[in-house]
């Protein structure tokens, strides 16, 4: 905790930009051995991604990989089509419920939020506001109302 305070003070008083970001600073001052992480791509699955059987198979594979690493619960991020079907699978397969938490991807979460605003304020000029500001094209703004 003292290192965090020192880093904050150094970052606020750093005029030349020589103090690294938080993770870089901690890697310089720590004495603990931290192994290098390896990031790898998962293997491709040659099946339609939004089929229930494909999603169920992938969830089982992800759980097996997580258990092999000693991780007993995983967080899976997916788009709206896969997320909704995966949630249905988790409702039906109670043995998976304590092992997987589904999360909607960032873009789809924002799209759902904007669509909900569009439903509430669609008649109040919401579409005109989006298009006149130049944030969205008319066709995109129409989908949000």
Write down the pLDDT at residue 72: 93
Write down the pLDDT at residue 116: 84
The per-residue DSSP string of 43-63 comes to: PP--S-TTSHHHHHHHHHHHH
Write down the pLDDT at residue 41: 84
pLDDT tens track of the chain, all 145 residues? 788 888 889 888 888 888 888 888 888 888 888 777 788 888 888 999 989 999 999 999 999 999 998 999 999 999 989 999 999 999 999 899 899 999 998 888 888 888 888 778 777 787 888 888 888 888 888 776 6
Length of the chain: 145
Write down the pLDDT at residue 62: 93
Write down the pLDDT at residue 145: 67
Question: How, if at all, do strands 100-104 and 74-78 pair?
Answer: parallel
Q: Strand, helix or coil at 119?
A: helix
């Amino acid at each position: 905790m003292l290192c965090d305070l020192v880093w904050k003070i150094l970052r606020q008083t750093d005029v030349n930009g020589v103090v690294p970001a938080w993770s870089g600073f901690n890697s310089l001052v720590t004495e603990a051995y931290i192994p290098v992480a390896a990031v790898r791509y998962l293997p491709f699955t040659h099946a339609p991604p939004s089929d229930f059987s494909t999603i169920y198979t992938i969830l089982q594979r992800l759980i097996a990989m997580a258990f092999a690493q000693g991780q007993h619960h995983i967080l899976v991020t997916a788009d709206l089509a896969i997320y909704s079907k995966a949630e249905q699978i988790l409702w039906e397969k109670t043995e998976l419920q304590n092992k997987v938490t589904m999360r909607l991807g960032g873009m789809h979460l924002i799209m759902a939020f904007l669509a909900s605003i569009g439903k509430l304020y669609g008649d109040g000029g919401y579409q005109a506001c989006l298009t006149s500001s130049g944030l969205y094209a008319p066709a995109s703004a129409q989908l949000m109302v």
